Amino acid sequence: MTDPTAAVYVGRFAPSPTGPLHFGSLVSALASYLDARSHGGVWLVRMEDLDPPRNSRKAADQILQALSDFGLTWDGEVLYQSRRLDSYASSLHTLAEENLLYACSCSRKKSGKIYPGFCRDKPQAKPLDADGAEKGTPHAMRVRVPDREITFTDLIQGDQRQHLSKQVGDFILKRKDGLFAYQLAVVVDDAYQQITHVVRGSDLLDSTPRQIYLHELLHSTPIRYAHHPVIANAQGNKLSKQTFATALDSRAPQRTLTAALEALNLNPPEPFLRSTSVDSILQWAIANWRLGAVPSRKTIPAKSIRYLPSE
Ligand code: GLU
């Protein structure tokens, strides 16, 4: 990994390799890339491949190839979360030692959307092993949340607040099936990679207070967050692999890059033509990038993007 210790800005793109890169994820990659590069910062790529049945090495390789085709060159080595399990176990262990975790065997149905803490005060018969593993009946590990609001100022969406116990409840850091939860891994890795700025889609805005809280518990340096609008399909749903967003066509990246810039409110005077190199488009975009000009909306309809190549 590039040593980011000297950098004042370290950004990252952290895709889950469940399928090839699509237009929505290109917008995310581009936003974090442009913000990092316009600050003279480091830009890292991390594969969030913690869910073996859903992730594939092929998808990870396709994503990296697409990033290269679109000129989004990252610094250092790609970090794969599947190789970081010991670190997640060790952070979990630290939290367990501080009595911040408890085992929970409630079903998803019983837990509801806001977990009311059924297992919070149960005697903990099966504490974590030294390696973070638990034995016996399958159970999730939840972290206790405080009875207070977490507040932060998002660099795009403005002031945010969330009351963790009233709006989220104690949340899962290790799932019943033994997998480490996204919320834990993302925090451990953002700290490990010394990320200073997270620029990502607005669908993760709601997760941010949980992540800020975990950073507090693990004593890591606070991060600045910026959540850009996500691209929505005709049904108003975020473009994603689940909504069958089509894979990007890397053969003529100029038009797709123009469309992605347009989604971020960075409108080149003319759509870039096939003859313009991807690198010169990105140089133009870095020079003209303004995070403050990104709309503070949660979604942008794909159909409002003029240069989006038709699917
Ligand atoms: N892996 C997550 C996703 O693909 C993004 C995580 C993040 O940026 O914090 O939605």
30-44 confidence digits (pLDDT tens)? 999 999 999 999 999
The closest residue, in CA terms, to atom 7 on ligand 1 is 14
Percentage, residues of the chain above pLDDT 70:
90
Ligand 1 mean position, distance from CA 282 (Å): 23
200 lines ligand 1 (CB under 6 A): yes
CA of 186, closest atom in ligand 1: 9
Across 80-84, average pLDDT = 98
Predicted pLDDT of residue 233 = 87
Percentage, residues of the chain above pLDDT 90:
76
Pocket mutation for ligand 1, best pick of 33, 204, 228, 238 (most atoms within 8 Å of C-beta): 204
48 lines ligand 1 (CB under 6 A): yes
16 lines ligand 1 (CB under 6 A): yes
Predicted pLDDT of residue 236 = 82
Predicted pLDDT of residue 131 = 47
Predicted pLDDT of residue 247 = 82
Across 257-277, average pLDDT = 84
190 lines ligand 1 (CB under 6 A): no
186 lines ligand 1 (CB under 6 A): yes
206-239 confidence digits (pLDDT tens)? 999 999 999 999 999 999 999 999 999 888 888 7
- CA 286 → CA 37, 40, 151, 202, distances in Å? 7, 10, 30, 22
Predicted pLDDT of residue 125 = 58
Residue 130 has pLDDT above 50, yes or no: no
Across 101-114, average pLDDT = 91
DSSP state of 300: E
CA of 201, closest atom in ligand 1: 8
14 lines ligand 1 (CB under 6 A): yes
- CA 55 → CA 48, 74, 158, 185, 203, distances in Å? 9, 21, 33, 15, 20
49 lines ligand 1 (CB under 6 A): no
CA of 203, closest atom in ligand 1: 10
Confidence of residue 77 (pLDDT cuts 50, 70, 90): very high
**Residues ≥6 apart with Cβ < 8 Å to 272:** 254, 255, 257, 258, 281
Residue 178 has pLDDT above 50, yes or no: yes
15 lines ligand 1 (CB under 6 A): yes
Ligand 1 mean position, distance from CA 46 (Å): 9
CA of 15, closest atom in ligand 1: 4
Q: How open is the CA angle 52-129-178, to the nearest 5 degrees?
A: 20
Report the predicted TM-score, pTM, of the whole model to 2 decimal places: 0.93
Please state, rounded to an integer, the average pLDDT across all residues of the chain. Answer: 91
Predicted pLDDT of residue 16 = 96
CA of 200, closest atom in ligand 1: 8
Predicted pLDDT of residue 82 = 97
Please tell me the distance from the alpha carbon of residue 218 to that of residue 51, in angstroms, as a whole number: 23
